[in-house]
Amino acid sequence: MTVTVFIPGALRNECGGATRLDLEPGEPVSLTGVLDEVAATYPRLDRRIRDERGRLRQFVNVFVNEEESRALAGMDTAVPDGAEVRIIPSVAGG
């Protein structure tokens, strides 16, 4: 299966400037599994997205096929073959 993870501009320096990461998990995965794949290659990018408990940082949103993961099953959200995973920080702050 394939999964594409889109990287926001603020974090692209953590993955060599890539705007997207094309992953090939060997089997159906959860969102945790997708981010574990990201962490295997780009651990510092992962740390910007998740804390050491594996939880999404408060103002980081992850969409799976255009649905926000917190409205689905959170980190247990199933990521289907061909899914687009978008990491989108909240637009907030002064």
Partner 1 sequence: MTYLLAIGTKKGFFLATSEDRRAWRVDGPLILGGDDSTVQSSVYAIGIDTRRSTPRLLVGADSSHFGPSVWHSDDLGANWNEPAERAPIFFPPDLDTALVRTWQFGFGPDPDIVYAGVEPHALFTSVDGGVTFELNHGLWNHPHRREWYPGYGGAAIHTILPHPDDPDSVTVAMSTGGVYQTHDAGNSWTAVNRGIMADFLADPYPEFGQCVHKVVRDSVDPAKLYAQNHGGVYRSDDEATEWTSIADGLPSDFGFAMVAHPTSGDSIMNFPVAAAAGRFPPGNRLQAQRSDDGGSTWRTFSEGLPEEPYFGIVLRDAAATDGDDDAGWYFGTRCGDVYAAVDSEPRWSPVVTHLPDVLCVRAARI
CB of 81 to partner 1, least distance (A): 29
Query: Residue 46 or 83: which CB sits closer to partner 1?
Result: 46
Report the relative pairing of strands 83-89 and 3-6 from DSSP bridges: parallel
The sheet with strand 60-64 has its strands ordered as 20-23, 3-6, 83-89, 60-64, 67-68
Query: Residue 34 or 87: which CB sits closer to partner 1?
Result: 87
15 and 42 Cβ atoms separated by less than 8 Å:
yes
CB of 43 to partner 1, least distance (A): 6
Query: Residue 33 or 83: which CB sits closer to partner 1?
Result: 33
Coil, strand, or helix at residue 35?
Answer: helix
Q: Using CB under 8 A as the criterion, which residues of the chain lie in contact with partner 1 when the complex forms? A: 9-11, 13-14, 43-44, 47-49, 51-53, 55, 57, 59-60, 89-90, 92-93
